[in-house]
Structure 1
């Protein structure tokens, strides 16, 4: 893996680490056991003090696909414009075919790797549509799934890499800002070993404060039945209620790994955690993590063993809000912090040196956007737009900051052009005239340029009459 870097805050390294060899493990064959997976009727009810903010029990007709109101398929050999082979060297092609991703009619999702007669592998990868999973301020977030790993061991398991994990929201639509935007691996496994790995990725790669491409990881054996022969519940608890923020990982009731805020510098932690995340379920074949334990897939690998998922559930507890933060009721005439968006594509979040501190959004280039729901303009028309912006763009690089209402396809109601301001943290407030606006609207900031380079950061914006 290599790193592309420029000025501070503009790092765009390859995504998704190759988790390091945490200990020397042999690949002795484990006896395969045929087990008929069973599902609970539903995800367990939230414990006292917790609120359910997302759940999918994967109930549905056998052979049907996932609920696309909750999930989207990631297909091919990588994201459009992103690194090849998902940035990890895995060899499969991800598909949306029900031969790879399907409900089984008994309350389970099955993600099944398959190999065709020519030796080509296919598999499945699904991601939540939502990208806003994070703890409320002063509260906790719990993300869990009940999963049976592919029930295959020994030589037949060579190349298998099932995972249940999360990526920072700024990654969606960018694909080159890993690991700075954060990755939380709740469950990873390779080669049919009776081991679950959990890891946080952050900072820069290679090396950096989070020891990339290894990350900050831990592992343990599955308690009771092996990871392959039975269901286990894999859980992450992200806790902002403690003096030092921490992220804890569990298998069933066994707590086996913790990452604490004070293990890295404040900027690294903020860049990795001060935003929402989305959830991913996939089974890769091959790749760097697999290579660390002997490689594969090869001629001995047996296709067709699914990762079986009973449910995925997200819970929130305590704090000063819920997950996600309440939307709507934004005052158009007060500063709207750019990082408080309700949706985005292509942005990253970083600490700002601007007056008042906090965060700004950056890495903004042609086609990127951010959404702010429920902005109230009142009954007296707004006619001005103000944005706090900075740019370290190269000579001749510039673009438009545009305001659109209610849809990204709406015509802009106003815009201004911006180029180099003296640096990515050299801030100025730029005004623009806009068409008269009253009432309450969803506001989109869109970024348009005639070239692909980043051209602006945004700290906050508001409107005037």
Structure 2
């Protein structure tokens, strides 16, 4: 299904940092009262905000930044502010984004004096991540012209622009479709009206504004799946792009916003009630629950030698090396659906999360960090997504015991691997 005809892309001038940030420390996992078996916590929570705090408090600035400005690209009517009148905690464990029909700051929008204020938050410069399970429990806004969304942009947005950065819309709703939400991908050749997505409609006349619902995506190499309350309603892979480029292989940051008006939802009318609210119970990102699933076998490189855990030792910090293939478990690697590569129950890891050429790789407890995120390309490179560098046999050597490392990708034979697929 081709989804809505308009993009949620940023207007030039909105406050946006594009620095990749390390994962933020996490709190005790928050389990909603209506949790089901599908909400069971995976092994590693890499980002979480439960929005606990006194009523009227601002969001945690270590996790979120507030954008300011209007959005001419979508012809939205609101001005995004950094005021707690538009985004604040409610004292009951929720973040409330409030759209108001007012303009106390005398803000100017693309159409003249702004008629509405609202809020838009993102984690750029605070948190970004590649792959995993991304979810939020949300009660959406209600009424004609309202446009709430939970979505993500590639953290290279500032360098390559939209849509080359990629956009993953986890949940969008337009007020004239109170029973339906949309999930969409945008990228080069499939953006705006050509976005790839689908809608999900509640049964029996229910409306999304009537209760909280959990919106999620499970994102793994070459596969993104959307769900509502644990029910999967679409899966997308590169095969859906008609030959266009898949750009969902690098870190993305999170965005929450409530727009008023725009080309897709249309403007509010006399039936639309203000103030109008989008209520978020929690946002959580985990490494996913499929770390031990995926193709398993030997990874071979120079002269047919195998990627090997030295001494078949599963201790943290054990070197990973090149060695003659011998069929032992130390050479059995799972290319996992969460972006990790695993052997002996642990992850292929860049030592100390280094990004410099020559940083050695090792075996280490799986922890969800960028040092353990890899993609196997069609060109047979194994690329560490955090550093953008390739798995490399040091010194171009194929001798037994040659240490493996990361190095700038050169296309040389010592960076070419055959992995299980």
2:156 is paired with a residue whose SS is helix
Q: Deviations over 1:273-307 (max 9, x none)?
A: 121011111001112221xxxx2134553221110
In structure 1, the residue matched to 2:235 is 258
Q: Does 1:194 align with 2:179?
A: yes
Alpha-carbon distance in structure 2 between the residues aligned to 1:102 and 1:90: 22
- 8 Å Cα contact 2:51/2:281 also seen in 1: yes
Q: Is the 8 A contact 1:95 1:124 kept in 2?
A: yes
- Give 1:8's aligned residue: none
Residue 163 (structure 1) aligns with:
149
**Equivalent residue runs for 1:280-429 within 5 Å:** 280-290=255-265, 295-316=266-287, 317=289, 318=291, 319=336, 320=340, 328=352, 330=354, 332-334=356-358
In structure 2, the CA distance between the partners of 1:248 and 1:267, relative to structure 1 (3 Å rule), is same
Displacement after TM superposition at 1:261 (Å): 2.1
Residues 131 and 169 in structure 1, CA contact (< 8 A), matched pair in contact too: no
1:158 aligns to what SS in structure 2?
coil
Which residue in the other structure is 1:63 paired with?
56
Alignment partner of 1:220 out of 197, 200, 203: 200
Moved over 6 A (4+): 41-46, 355-361
Structure 1 residues 333 and 17 mapped into 2: Cα distance closer, same or farther (>3 Å)? closer
SS where residue 268 of structure 1 aligns? coil
Specify which of 102, 111, 119 is matched with residue 116 of structure 1.
102
Whether contact under 8 Å (1:113, 1:121) holds in the other structure is yes
Q: Structure 2 matches for 1:214-253, cutoff 5 A?
A: 214-223=194-203, 225-240=206-221, 245-253=222-230
Shift in Å, 1:333: 4.9
Q: Distance in 2 between matches of 1:86 and 1:334?
A: 46
In 2, Cα distance between the equivalents of 1:108 and 1:53? 20
Name the CA distance, whole Å, in 1 between partners of 2:355 and 2:121: 36
TM-score scaled to structure 2, two decimals?
Answer: 0.59
**What is the CA distance between 1:167 and its match in structure 2?**
0.7
Change (3 A) 1:120 1:42: same
User: Corresponding residue for 1:423?
Assistant: none
CA deviation after TM superposition for structure 1 residue 263, in Å: 1.7
Name the structure 2 match of 1:181.
165
Residues 1:296 and 1:329: Cα distance change in structure 2 (over 3 Å): closer
Alignment counterpart, residue 81 of structure 2, candidates 91, 95, 99 = 95
Matches within 5 A, 1:433-452: none
Structure with higher strand content:
1
Q: Is the 8 A contact 1:56 1:312 kept in 2?
A: yes
Q: Is the CA contact 1:43–1:312 (under 8 Å) kept in the aligned structure 2?
A: no
CA distance in 2, matches of 1:49, 1:109: 24
Q: 1:49 to 1:72 in 2, by over 3 A?
A: closer
Q: How far apart in 2 are the matches of 1:299 and 1:71?
A: 34
Query: Contact 2:78–2:118 at 8 Å: present in 1 too?
Result: yes
Q: Deviations over 1:197-236 (max 9, x none)?
A: 1101112xxxx3x264330010121357420111111111
User: In structure 1, what is the equivalent of residue 69 of structure 2?
Assistant: 76
* 1:406-455 deviations in Å (ceiling 9; x for gaps): xxxxxxxxxxxxxxxxxxxxx99xxxxxxxxxxxxxxxxxxxxxxxxxxx
- Whether 1:132 and 2:107 are equivalent positions in the alignment is no
Q: TM-score, normalised by structure 1?
A: 0.54
For structure 2, the 5+ residue unaligned runs are: 1-5, 11-30, 104-112, 292-335, 361-368, 390-406, 412-421
Q: Say whether the 8 Å CA contact 1:222–1:251 is kept in structure 2.
A: no
- In 2, the alpha carbon distance for the partners of 1:331 and 1:235 equals 31
Whether the aligned pair in 2 keeps the contact of 1:235 and 1:251 (CA below 8 Å) is yes
Matching of residue 276 in structure 1 with residue 276 in structure 2:
no
1:328 partner SS = helix
Query: 1:278 and 1:219 mapped to 2: Cα distance?
Result: 23
The answer (yes or no) to whether the contact 1:76–1:93 under 8 Å persists in 2 is: yes
Count of equivalent residues = 294
Question: Structure 1 residues 312 and 360 mapped into 2: Cα distance closer, same or farther (>3 Å)?
Answer: closer
Say if 1:327 and 1:298 are closer, same or farther in 2 by CA, change over 3 A. Answer: farther
Sort the Cα spacing of 1:200 and 1:179 in 2 relative to 1 into closer, same or farther, 3 A: same
Structure 1 residues 260 and 48: CA distance shift in structure 2, 3 A: same
CA RMSD in angstroms, aligned pairs only: 4.2
Q: Shift in Å at residue 328 of structure 1?
A: 2.8
Check whether the contact 1:186–1:199 (CA below 8 A) recurs between aligned residues. yes
- Corresponding residue for 1:462? none
SS of the residue 2:210 aligns to: coil
CA drift at 1:359: 7.9
